[in-house]
Structures are given as structure tokens and as C-alpha cells.
Amino acid sequence: MVMAMGCAGPSSRVGDYLVGFQPVSGRPQIAAPLVVGLLIVLPEEELAKPTTPSKEVLEKIGQRIQKELQESSNIKVRRIFPAIITPGAGLGAVSLERIRESAKHPDLPKVIVAVATSRLAGRVYFSRVEDQLFARMDAALVDLATSQVLASGTGQDDYVLAQSYFYNGFSYPRLYYRTFTFAGPFTVVEGDPYKALGEMAFSGAADQLGMKFRRALDPAGIS
């Protein structure tokens, strides 16, 4: 079976991070099932944020992308490689050589490279403070043998962390989705609230990326 590979919409910024790759003209045809590796990239400046995903959370994020992709019988993620850190904001720092070094596997010349970034915005009220995290994952399916970008896409999501100024405030800190009302539904956080915010927002972005990539790579797979 042969699949037509979908190309990115204008919203994808993955080309700002990749170096040494060439886009494919037209719609490349690739035999199915498509077997790939998955590599998550975290820019160094993300490490300074309180919402930065831990190594364990990055592994879970990779598994969420894998699960979404493998809803199609035509796509198989054979291996999730350890995440890598790139300098600064990661712009122009994800080179072909770095990916080849980090995603070594003799049977996996095709790798999905996903760059995780975020933006944190705050709002202050009389009784509480809210932090909204906008998480984003820009990804590309690259062929390491031909140094070509075969497809690309974006997943993004955002969640809000609300904390009360009052000691022992009722049901604080809490996390809720941007479209929910402040009254709920929400999740009461235990442990580090900012780490929980990061995990939830990036997990949502990973789900969106996996779903969109699955549909782009296998349009006939799942509607």
C-alpha cells in the first residue's frame, strides 16, 4: 500500500528549528505501513521555566503521541528516543547530524522530530492569581537517508493554574481548561502546581499533534 504524505499548514514553525534538510516538492508517496522513530526536542530556554516537563513527563508525552499515531494500522512508532536539549530557543539548532546521532537505529531512517515550546501568561485578581500556559509542539517527519522533510504539523493546547492568596483557600491550587468557567470543572493539584500545569498543557499539545499527524499521514485511516 502507498500513502500520500500530507504537508504542513502555514501554522507550523518546525522549519525554524531544522537545519540541513530539504523539503520535498509535491506530495511524496511512501509505502505503508509507515514505521518511524520519535524524537522530542526541548530548547534550553525552556529549562528555566517552572512548567518545564521532567524527563519522565517527556517520556509520557512521547507515549501519548505514539498512541495517537498508532490508532492507524498504517503507522507504527517502533522506538521513542531519549529527548534532547538544544541551545537557546532552539532556532536553527536541530541539525541533521544531531538527529542522526540521537536517533541511531539501522531500521528507522524515518523519524518524527517534535520540538516542545511554551509561553506563560499571568493574571492577577483580588483573591487569586492565574497562570495560563500555552504549550506547543512543532513536528516534522524527516528521512535521515535523503535529508528530506516529508511532512510537518503542529499541536497546541493551553491550561490555567489558579492559586488563592488566602491561606488554605478552598480547593486551591486548581487547574482548568481555558474554555471552562472558573467554577469548574477543575482539578485540584497535589505537589508542584507549575509542574502539573506543564504536564497537562504539554499532554494536550501532544494529543493534538498525534491526531493531526495521523490524519495527515494516513487520510484514509481514521476520519
CA angle 20, 207, 6 (to 5 degrees): 50
Rounded Cα distance between 98 and 88, Å, is 15
Q: What is the pLDDT of residues 58-81, one digit of tens each?
A: 999 999 999 999 998 889 999 999
Res 7: pLDDT? 42
**How long is the chain?**
223
Model pTM? 0.88
Q: How far apart are CA 137 and CA 10, in angstroms?
A: 14
Report the 10 Å Cβ neighbour count for 104: 11
C-alpha cell at 212: 493531526
Q: For the CA atoms of 94, 100, 105, 107, what is the dihedral angle to 10 degrees? A: 100
Average pLDDT over residues 173-185: 80
CB 118 within 8 A of CB 134: yes
* pLDDT interval class at 125 (50, 70, 90): confident
47, exposed or middle or buried, with CB in 10 Å at 0-12, 13-18, 19+? exposed
Q: How far apart are CA 125 and CA 145, in angstroms?
A: 54
Residue 222 clears pLDDT 60, i.e. is over it: no
- Residue 8 reports pLDDT greater than 60: no
Locate 161 and state its grid cell: 493554574
Residue 208's φ and ψ, nearest 5 degrees, are -65, -45
